[in-house]
Structure 1
Amino acid sequence: METDKGNILVLATGGSIAQTSPSDPTLTGEALLAANPELKEKFGIVVEQIAQVSSPDITAEHWLGLANRINKAFTHDKVRGIVVMHGTDTLEETAFFLHLIVKSDKPVVIVGAMRRPYALGADGAANLYHGVALADCPEARGRGVLVVLNSEIHSARDVTKTTINLDAFKSPGCGPLGQMVNGRPIFYRRLERSHTLWSAFASDLRRLPSVAIVCSYVGVTPDILQAVASSAYEGIVWAGTGSGSLPKAIVPTARAIVKNGLAFVRSSRVNCSYIRRNDEVDDDALGFVTADSLSPQKARVLLMLSLNQTNDPVKIQSFFDTH
């Protein structure tokens, strides 16, 4: 980035916000900014195209590339904030990864769109404007990675996509951090968990360990876990019922997996479910990790980063208790 050109860096990855047909995100970041002339006039903006994919096609390599680009950009003092345009289907996972790996207190804001540019009532332009305005605000510093859609400001840790409507993104059990009003943020709370500069994770990652999510359902059998464990995975997140419950038929296989060196995290398929440690399951004896209030997909992100440092379940649990 040439630091004499702007204070806000916009990184485009594709997604519905850039989608001009039912199948492909074809609009570039430059084209989306050109459709918002007020942004160009009001803010100093530089746009870079990092990827051009729908969000189900985002990979760990995209994550690493984004994190490296963001951390490098923040070495320039003039860069006040960064906006990432992203598809909504996996937006919360990318946002949480960056929340744990970006090493700056400057704002990183993730935006997307629930309606494509050609749809009636398209929301991409408003979300992008709010994202840039928020990234330019000193009040957004030190709050971790933020997600802005439908005028609401959410923490990357708590937010999840709940519907396909305009108000799709919610933070169950926590609520938004604030909202955008007349182009300025109004904040109501702060996140207490560690993130960005204060996270336990290094920024110079070259790979991410492979972690699978296995979902519980009526009649689930141990062979599902066995199949995952026999592949090249280094950890498993169990998306259990209720408070992360395991059927009795699953416990011996899960115990064996842990004894063979794989990490096993208990989470819940229920939105807004806190996993109570040693509740119905003797986590301490079995060597399980509990996901706190993280969804299975976010527990997977945190486990991937944790496994870069250790496979000790006690140490991994400490990461889940503090991030």
Structure 2
Amino acid sequence: MPNTFMPPWWAKSPHIQTILPVFTKVAKPKLQRQRVELPDGDFVDLDWQDMPQAGKPIVIIIHGLEGSAQSHYARRILQACKAQQLAAVVHHHRSCSGEANRLARSYHSGDTDDLQFSLSTLKSAYPQSPLLAVGYSLGGNVLTKYQGEYQDDSLLARAVVVSAPLQLSACAKRLENGFSKIYQSHLIKQLRQKISHKLSDPDLAISMPLSQLEVERLNTFYEFDDKVTAPLHGFDGVDDYYTRASGLPFVSRITKPTLIIHAKDDPFMTDEVIPHSSQLSGYVEYELHAYGGHVGFIDGGTPWKPHFYLESRVLQFLMGEYNLEQSSASPINRDAVAQGNTDAHSL
């Protein structure tokens, strides 16, 4: 059936699509925390909503930059999973669960090692449960890269990627212009605060690649990634990081069913994140919508109580008409994929 999205007249602005969901109240989920100790002495936290029944699927939620289980999109998909009696767990990137991580390093857009460790932990504990994942924004880029890196060894049966910055350098430049600078300023402020906190710890400060004064001068993602992300995570500068961590080159390598959703008006992106049809693996279904903003996709309701497209679409793909045990056996039949309308393209 067609997978179409059209915002109401009052939500066609990409900034309304991006900002209104942040201020829309969503019930706080009841979560149970599981700490996963990593091989390098650090940790990540998994927040569970309901524990899985034997052999039943587990939905893994991978949040975006400086997000968490309390992000608006995470709360909504958790709510949707609960309505369908699906066990769900949020994989927090290092330092994002409300507690600072132990090491000088943190997380980045191409860090698939921590995700693989979390998935391995889940697969070991629940070997009969299919693992399904949805990644948002930065988490979507991580998920795309993971699927392309691990290919048949991916521990995921199916995956959905939402609003992922698949070409990092282009997205960094986009956020330096126009109203998008507001989003950049907000996120950079949060990142600077975390680095300042680590610099206040003498044991961590000696491993940090810059001083507090230099931190205060960081105003763009390009500067932050050049002075902090790249050196802390073993990259040879920001350009090396953007090249090696971007998810776009990995889309063609994916061998497990994966849905990628973008909005053409996303204020975090440019057209460079949009894969050409020749870059799409046969296992990738791609949706490009004319509207939707960044992790927005309001499709109805009122400004006081909006309705959203994402949750139903994500779970439709993850739990739709397919046999979980055979979900990776054959690529998507593109001839059978509905094209929708001019506002939603499935390639």
Normalised by the length of structure 1, the TM-score is 0.28
Say which structure, 1 or 2, has more relative contact order (CA 8 Å, 6+ apart).
2
**Which structure has the highest helix share of the two?**
2
